Every structure is written in C-alpha cells, then in structure tokens.
Amino acid sequence: MNSSHNRITSSPLINLPSGIVRPSFSLSSFLLQLQISLKSLLPVNLPRLNKSYFFALIDSHIIHYPTPITLTYAWSFGSLAGICLVIQMVSGIFLSMHYAPNVDLAFSSVEYIMRDIKNGWLIRYVHANGASMFFIVVYSHICRGLYYGSYMEPREWLWVSGVILFFLMMGTAFTGYVLPWGQMSFWGATVITSMVTVIPVVGSAIVEWLWGGYTIKNPTLNRFFVIHFLLPFFIAGFTLIHLALLHKVGSNSPIGSDTGVDDVPFYPYYASKDLFALSCFLVFFATFVFYFPNVLNHPDNCIPADPFETPRHVVPEWYFLAYYAILRGIPHKTGGIIAMFGSIAVLFLIPFINSSEIRNTTYRPIFKFFFWLFLADFVILVIAGQKPVTDTYKLVSQVATVYYFMFFLVIIPVVGKIEAALVRHKS
C-alpha cells in the first residue's frame, strides 16, 4: 500500500478528481534554472577563459583582481584619470585633422573648427574643458594618495611613476595651450620658454632650438604641435607601467591594511562603483561643455596673437597658477624658476623622507591639521597666481611658498617621528 502510494505521489502526472491533469512544469523552478544559466555566462563564472593568455590577463587584472573591501569613491579617481586620457586623445586626434600648425592660419583654423566643421564646436569644447577635468581628477587623485599614505612602503615606486606621469601631463597641457595661437598662448609660450635661459652654458642654445630661431614664430608652433601630439602616447605607455606597479603590490586601503583577508573581486563590486563615479563625472563634465564652455579659459586667448601688444596681465591656465605664484613670489629669476620646478620635483622625495608608521591621516590628528592647512595653502597660491603683481600678493605668495616646501621637507618627516614618540610614550 505504501509503495503504491509513493509511486502515485512521485509520478509527474496526477489524475485529479475533476479530471484535470497538473503538469510538473513550475514557473519558479524554470526561472531559477534560467538565472543559474545566465550566471554561468558571467565573466566571473567562466574559468575556462583563463586557458587563453589574453583572457587570463584580463581576468587577473580586471575581473578577479583582489581589491580591499573598504575602498571608497576616492579610489575612483584613478580610473577616471584613465577615462580623461582616452577622451583627450580621441578628441585631440579629430581636432588635428583640421588644425593648421602655422602662425598665420592656426587661430583661423580653430575658428573654422568651431564654426564650419559639423559638431566641431563640441569636439573643441570637450578637448579644451577636458584638460581642466583631467587636472581636477589628477589633483584629487594626488590628494587622496597624500591623505591615505599611498606613497609608503611597498608603494614607493608606484608613487614615483605617478609623479613622472604628472610631469608628462603638465608638459602636454602647456604645449597644447600654445596651439590656439591667441594672445595668452603666444605670450605664455614666450614667458615659459624664456626660463630655459637660466640653464648655464646651454640655456640660450636650447631656447633657440625650441623657437627655431631668435623669436617665437612658425617653427616654434610646429615643434609644440608635434610634441603635444606625441606626449599623450608616452603618457598612455607609462600609464601601463603605473598600473603594472599598482597590481604588483595591490591597492592601498583606507585602514592601511595589506593582509588581503578582506579582499573581494574587482568585478562586479568595484566595476559598478567606478561606473557610477564615471556617470557623476560625465554629468559634471557635460555641465561645463554645454553651459559654461569658456569659464575655465582666459578671455584674452580669444584674441589672435599679436607680438607687438603685450597683455596687461600674462597668466597661465588655472591648473598652473599655484606654480606660477611660486615663480613670481621669489624676486630672483633663477631662484624662482628653480623653486617652481622644485615644487613638483619635491613629490619624488615623499616616499623616502616619510617617517610615519601609520598610513591613514584620519588616525594622525597632528598631521591631519597640517594636511588641511596645506590644501588651504595650495588654494591661496592658486588665487595669488591670478592676481596682478603687487606687494601684497607677492608677500602672500612668499608666505604660502614657504609653507608649501615646509610641508614636504619638514612636516612630513618630523611629524611622523613626533607621533611615533607619542605612541610609545609611557606616562
């Protein structure tokens, strides 16, 4: 009796009293099987792809790349910088198709792109504002690295490679600023290239080579155009080195732990997080491109270059203003130029002069005060750099310059030792 009852209940079809036959098909089980099948097609569930070297490389560095679970959106600035580089390269290539690197045609060719080329205004505004977006992202990336100690062991060479990328990026931005051949482009190039004359013995010869003669003219513009076109490819290549160094030691975490016990795969957790950060960034970027396309550019650069009329106030783009303030704050020409380049080169020293054993500035109350003071100091330098040359602003620039170098050369190595002594102190 029991065996026959089991056969009846286990049968796929059961005759109901009403004569209705109930099928074994269940919608919920079908959906469950479909979900399992779809999940098996996700990149994280395709281990057989790892048999191919190419797919194994993608899998290890993008999909299953171990990432600390505590990362915040501050770690999205690295990927955003890569997106900015791609945007600048693609838009720059399209602009170069119509740009004429000739002193008589350069300004007109830019106007031609803006007025006559279909969607040329969009490409040009994306490229012009993209430079500012690039610097905003990179400055944020550097600040995050300073705050969370991303320069500390074992990431010293990762930091150094990032500083080299910053140098290349600044060279690309400067040469690109010259290409529209407006008033600020011409006189900015005149001021910056003239600084090379302070180099003993060979300075004047280098300037003549850069200019292609004794004044800034057509060969100068051609040289700057070629340099500006080639440098982004060097940046792209060095970015791969930067990423290789990053993936060798792994990402730094807010808590400063390198144990790896709390790591999760990059995909889908941080891939979705970076995608959301990218969406917010593109909205911010598009706001400038479509509503405030010229707010970050100097109005004098809308005037064709005139070698016989000097602008009342020659200033670089906003992302160079802090270093320009350092240059102007020192009355000695050679000393000012050395200080300006030294203000960037000092970043190389941080990993090797740091004395702190704690990475996260949140847990370093003394250093945190000096860190936020440094950010305020940098903003003051930016403001002073765009102001006219007066005694007041020169004094402000000099005071801010002193603190700028003190932060890197004195505060970073000394405060770490003070904090270590306080931690080990026994009352």
Q: Which residues contact 163 (CB under 8 A, 6 or more apart)?
A: 344, 347, 348
What would the two tokens of residue 360 be? 């996260």
Cα distances (angstroms) measured from residue 400 to each of 167, 328, 352, 384: 22, 12, 24, 9
Q: How many residues does the chain have?
A: 427
User: For the residues of 211-252, what is the DSSP string, one character each?
Assistant: HTSSSS-HHHHHHHHHHHHHHHHHHHHHHHHHHHHHHHH---
User: What letter represents residue 26's amino acid?
Assistant: S
Q: At 391, is the secondary structure helix, strand, or coil?
A: helix
Is 251 annotated in the active site?
Answer: yes
Other Cβ atoms within 10 Å of 207 Cβ, number: 17
Which H/E stretch holds residue 265? strand 263-265
Catalytic residue among 64, 91, 253, 274: 274
Q: CB of 99 within 8 A of CB of 107? A: no
CA pair distance 261, 236, nearest whole angstrom: 32
Instruction: Give the active site residue among 185, 251, 253, 356.
Output: 251
Q: Is 394 a catalytic residue?
A: no
The helix/strand/coil state of 216 is coil
Contacts of 8 (CB under 8 A, 6+ apart): 14
Choice among 59, 300, 317, 377 that is catalytic: 317
Strand partners, 22: 14
Which residue carries 């700028």 as its tokens? 404
Identify the active-site residue in 60, 61, 140, 247.
247
Rounded-to-integer distance, Cα 148 and Cα 326, Å? 26
State how far the alpha carbon of 21 is from the alpha carbons of 4, 5, 24, 29, in Å: 19, 18, 10, 19
| Block residue for tokens 């240059």 | 327
Distance CA 86, CA 101 (A): 23
SS (H, E, C) 66-113: EEECCCCHHHHHHHHHHHHHHHHHHHHHHHHCCCCCCCCCHHHHHHHH
Does the active-site annotation cover 274? Answer: yes
Check whether 5 is labelled as a binding-site residue.
no
List 59, 79, 253, 273, catalytic entry: 273
Residue 377 designated active-site:
no
Q: What values do phi and psi take at 15, rounded to 5?
A: -75, 115
Cis peptide before 219 (omega within 30 of 0): no
Amino acid in the structure at residue 327: L
* 156 assigned to active site: no
313 is in an annotated binding site: no
Q: What are phi and psi of 250, to 5 degrees?
A: 90, 160
Residues identified as active-site? 247, 251, 273-274, 317
Which positions make up the binding site for heme b?
127, 141, 228, 242
Which positions make up the binding site for a ubiquinone?
247
Which positions make up the binding site?
127, 141, 228, 242, 247
